[in-house]
Structure 1
Amino acid sequence: AAGIAGYQVDSDGVGLAGYDVKFIVAGPGKQIRVEAIDGPSAGAATTIALLSVLENRRIREGYVITGTVQEDGSIGPVGGVFYKAKAAAENGARYFLVPKGQSRVTVYERVVQQIFPGFSYVSYRPRVVDLNEYFSSYGLTVIEVSTVEEAASLMLE
């Protein structure tokens, strides 16, 4: 995040050279003990958070993002997008930004066939889900983004 944010912000004359950036994550509402927030899926979120602080711009309410961040500022694919969208929707998010090409995902539905009494065969059938259609009843809109710059233009006031 610091590398991308430094790249983004250096063009405005503000840099991060020689600084370590540390995040303390706290939010309103339910208090949840979290041992770690890490992994590549948090790259886009931490980059947007850092840009918000460095540019003194607020993150628009109701926005959530997932995605890896590459050195060139592009936002790359992540796993578990359906479950992340579900968590966002259930917690009141209105917009969920995902990497380009990930607003349609494959989920696996459990299928149980009773072979004879007491014995069942369990399989999983793949199904492609359009996240906008699936979560529309929650009021969630899923938006594909390709770059940090594009995400920042949507998320930052």
Structure 2
Amino acid sequence: MHGYRYAAIASLVILLALTLIPATAIGDSGLPNYSYVRSITIYAPAVSGSGEGVLSKTTLIVAYPGSGRVFFSALPYTELDTQGAARIAAYIASLVAGVSFNNYDYYVITESNVPIIGGPSSGGLMCVGFLSLLMNKTLNPSVTMTGMINPDGTIGPVGGLKEKLDAAASNGFKTFLIPKGQRYYQYPVIQETRLPWGVIRRTVYQSIDLVEYGRSINVSVIEVGSIFDAITYFTGMDINASSVIEPLQVSIPGEVVDSLLNNLSAMVQDTYSSVNKVYDYYYKRTLQTVINNLNNTLSSLYSIKDKYPVYAFVQGLSIYPSVVYYNLFSKVLSNTLSIDSILGTVNTTLTSIGVRLNSIGGSLDLDELILFS
């Protein structure tokens, strides 16, 4: 049984790799021969696993001539949403700069003291960095920001704002840009009640005005709604948004967002039903915790889908693999679905992908995609 599970995991990893590696990166011989290379180092505020604000050092590089490849390196590890944010950041930067994305290669080298670098919250800052390189502009070293970059060039909401603001202040930054609409922020506080037989700890949420709090620690906190707003504070440059707004426009119909979220919600509820049938106490509790977290994320996406449809859709796609994985995992543990059935589904999916790739001129052999024949 373990062999089947390892094989299934390996197939999913291979499938994911195929979706991430651009075709132009396959089959190249030798090292790239660039005419020029530009680089910049940025410091992105983040939150550690213990809940403290930290800075992650990121070196961004653009190289010409390239072919639209985005290379990502992280020390020690990174999550996929961070890599996805880097790709969106590079693409949006090329549109705003008025250059062809496919004429350059882009490198992201991130270093941090935290075990895992995750989340898309540095996407806006990476976009600013790439844009400064493409337009040969110097960034104001006293300014930093947090916020994800959406495919339409807007800056999306993120978490850990107070902790990130503290990290920015303690490292000498004087201006901290945050996503529009997040000035009033709720942050977790651990409260302890000491009793004769021990200590009871609980998490409560307190509201804070980040602009006022920033003023108290000598940092100017400013809300920005788009990459055009952000670049002005970093460079003083006022980019004519109307000249590039058309290619940045991303329209996702409300019914498409609703369909995705409703589909996720149905799978989450189905997973709850399967988890209740799991007999192993450890697995049952673990699955309940994970699915509760996914359900909380889904609830937050429902609450903002009308105001931020692009963000809700992108984030919904990002949690989709986890929802599917834990749904299938719970069914296996509850004996409502067999491993063979799951492997059959994976085979069917891989075959379908192979057919689609071949129909658009892909070069993958279908026989190579059937890993469990």
> Fold match, TM over 0.5?
yes
Distance 1:79 1:125, change over 3 A: same
1:135 partner SS: helix
- Between the aligned partners of 1:9 and 1:83, the Cα distance in structure 2 is 32
Distance 1:139 1:69, change over 3 A: same
Aligned mate of 1:69, from 143, 149, 155 = 149
Listed as ranges, the matches of 1:1-157 within 5 Å are 1-10=89-98, 14-24=99-109, 39-115=119-195, 117-157=196-236
How big is the alpha-carbon RMSD for the aligned residues of Structure 1 and Structure 2?
A: 2.2
TM-score, scaled relative to structure 1: 0.83
Q: What letter corresponds to residue 126 of structure 1 in structure 2?
A: Y
Q: What letter corresponds to residue 16 of structure 1 in structure 2?
A: F
Question: Rg: which structure is higher?
Answer: 2
- Between the aligned partners of 2:200 and 2:114, the Cα distance in structure 1 is 37
CA contact (8 A) 1:109 1:126 kept: yes
Q: What letter corresponds to residue 225 of structure 2 in structure 1?
A: S
Q: What letter corresponds to residue 147 of structure 1 in structure 2?
A: S
Deviation of 1:69 (Å)? 0.6
- Between the aligned partners of 2:204 and 2:122, the Cα distance in structure 1 is 29
Higher relative CO (CA 8 A, sep ≥ 6), structure 1 or 2?
1
CA contact (8 A) 1:109 1:124 kept: yes
Deviation of 1:25 (Å)? 5.9
In the TM superposition, what whole-angstrom CA distance separates every residue of 1:78-132 from its partner, at most 9, and x where no partner exists? 12111111100110110110111122211122222233x1323222221101112
How many pairs align?
148
2:105 partner SS: coil
CA contact (8 A) 2:160 2:187 kept: no
- Between the aligned partners of 1:78 and 1:93, the Cα distance in structure 2 is 19
Distance 1:156 1:34, change over 3 A: farther
CA contact (8 A) 2:94 2:134 kept: no
2:107 partner SS: coil
Unaligned runs of 5+ in 1: 27-31
Distance 1:52 1:38, change over 3 A: farther
